[in-house]
Homo-oligomer: A and B are copies of this chain.
């Protein structure tokens, strides 16, 4: 693998011509930034500005933009000197106009949006679409070429950068961290990415902490700390800190070029050492640049006698009321002219050669790198046949298996077959989640000190464990968006920690689906184990199926929710998820030994349909007219449902009970509400049109209510699910507390059946007595409480 080589040209101070060229590009970017915020006409200042040239509402963010463009210009020079593959990640979310300007100057913008031409008309279009209805937002977004990073919710620029360079040895990710963003928890928790980055097989992240001093209405913490303290902090995070400060020109060009060359050179040395000799496996001290420039650099210094540049007042629109205030209009004119646009754009409005040539060419332009449009370079996984990991099921409900263990074995072989494009991410729970087979072929990644007592951990590892859902989720996003595959496995309740990331990534994919130029990337796969229903020594705080609710809110072209009831279904679902693109696949299944229901062939058919009647469990004998439908989705509640059907078969044999299991939750809504939604005909085949349905659900009951809304007589669905009752207890007791136990389901069936054989009231009483017996048992027995295995089907008879 080639490693970055800082050419002598690069290491030398830039020539006057080079500085002039970078400065020209930078001025052009700044000009275009301001144009986007202010102008609706006269984009090239062919005549003096008049009020009617100014947008009626002034929206946008100037403050961070000149700094972003400054860095961009310098990185472009570096690329031109070195040919380095480079991805630019914009942490300061509202630097949108700067990055749009960069893409426009590089020509990429016109390539993907042909209506935005590189001439006066196109420039005007560029200006008018900005922060306008139906146009583009003021933040970096999916529409911005060269970006894999939405500038909305702050805090993820480093996790995206680290994810992007994992197994991407030739890539350099420039990650600009804003000082506002640097206050967030997720960002502060993500500096440690270098503890998991191996220069041998991973690329490099160069963080540039851009301290421009202020947020929307006040100063930032890092900008106001003693610089020595900031240096200590970043050095303590493990970085070699290079500092550049000022606003003087061309001095800043010279100093920043030198800082960048020196950082790049250091990265080259690190990678060279690691890749040639194998390195010593310890974490290098990676370079990091702290760049201090005034907020709104090159913009109005003061307005109406009040300091603007360098303060929070430069954050958005430094000159307000420009239409109404002639002085402000004149200031805007001066400001725009200070960039000498006539030197930057020709008569047609096209950037002049010196500006155009400041950018690298082709795919080396940061706005055009395929790493920012990962679908273009995604190679499908070389997947083993998932059937090879099947559990042999001769008869339903006779064997107990830790289902996720089979998935672990499958992932082990995916690791082996795809050493360059698959990773598992988890907050320290790979073994706990029974996925530990992966450690047969890969250690956990760790670049810090390792001791002889450690197991399956070291610098060559590629299983990612860090006790931070934010890091895991964000790394996987970066990995996916640059075209690689993976899975994030975590505890169900704590998936809410990164729920906002799930939301934001879903939104990214939803938006990307509207943009033909964005190629589809591998899906984000999220596996939740340690579910609400079984937490052993953990209590109520560890019990919550909230992420299902969250994923439900995403658009149907993105959201997928699977509740495989056993190992074979899990394998089939996982295979599908690993092959898919542009989805958020949520898979929920318990890690403990659980009853197995379906043979592999049955599982494949069941998962393909997404839901089906389990004839063997019911008593309606294929009768199209059952008295009651018992439906279920989720493993523990499926067991209760099958148990309830068994009780009914034994004790109320005349009742025609149909059992329906749902593995793909998104088959429930109408086809117009979700592409997986089953047809009205199929829905009726499963649930009838009129018979009541007792639905036992893994998640909150409201989810089913909202999913079946609009289906025939949706009111007939009586849903049992997690009703926020929990404690440290057995899964069976959890079902009792949440009124979803087999006994509750039997009583529900009796209360709602269309037709009742004799004996129903007696059976209800029996159920009540069973529950009372359970209650007494819990009170008396405390820690002797049987485990789930004593409460499963096979043993049920012994308790009756």
Contacts and interface: CB of A to CB of B under 8 A. Distances in A.
Contacts of A787: 57
Interface string A218-251: 1111001100011111111110000000000000
Interface string A448-467: 11110111110000000111
B493 A152 contact: yes
A507 B535 CA distance: 16
Contacts of A155: 185, 497
Interface stretch (A186-194, A519-527, A613-621): A186-194
B546 A550 contact: yes
Contacts of A538: 137-139, 152
B219 A724 contact: no
A62 to B, nearest CB: 12
B537 A131 contact: yes
Interface stretch (A67-75, A371-379, A580-588, A706-714): A706-714
Nearest to A779: B134
Contact of A432 (B216, B221, B236, B237): B216
A733 interface: yes
Nearest to A467: B183
A780 to B, nearest CB: 10
A560 to B, nearest CB: 15
Interface stretch (A265-273, A423-431, A655-663): A423-431
Interface in A685-717: 700-703, 705-707, 709-710, 713-715
A492 B429 CA distance: 32
Contact of A714 (B61, B151, B715): B715
Contacts of A549: 549-550, 552-553
A269 B44 CA distance: 63
A513 to B, nearest CB: 12
A184 B542 contact: no
Contacts of A138: 537-539, 728
Quick one: copies of this chain in the complex?
A: 2
Interface stretch (A498-506, A565-573, A792-800): A498-506
A224 B465 CA distance: 15
A752 to B, nearest CB: 13
A782 B134 contact: yes
A504 B541 contact: yes
A778 B133 contact: yes
Contacts of A457: 218-219
A511 B540 contact: yes
Lowest 10 CB-CB distances: which A-B pairs, in order?
Answer: A233-B236, A185-B189, A137-B539, A152-B541, A702-B706, A232-B236, A496-B500, A59-B537, A224-B448, A132-B783
Given A134-B785, A225-B448, A549-B552, 20 more contacts: A132-B785, A133-B782, A134-B782, A137-B537, A137-B540, A154-B467, A187-B189, A188-B188, A218-B456, A219-B457, A224-B448, A234-B236, A311-B454, A496-B500, A507-B544, A510-B540, A510-B724, A702-B706, A702-B707, A705-B706
25 contacts: A131-B537, A133-B730, A134-B782, A135-B728, A137-B540, A137-B728, A139-B538, A151-B541, A184-B189, A217-B465, A218-B446, A218-B465, A219-B448, A219-B457, A224-B448, A224-B450, A225-B448, A229-B236, A311-B453, A507-B541, A546-B550, A552-B702, A553-B724, A702-B706, A703-B706
Interface of A: 40, 55-57, 59-61, 128-139, 141, 150-155, 180-181, 183-192, 195, 215-221, 224-225, 229-238, 307, 310-312, 428-432, 444, 446, 448-451, 453-457, 465-471, 493-494, 496-497, 499-500, 503-504, 507-508, 510-511, 536-542, 544, 546, 549-550, 552-555, 700-703, 705-707, 709-710, 713-715, 723-724, 727-730, 733, 778-779, 781-785, 787
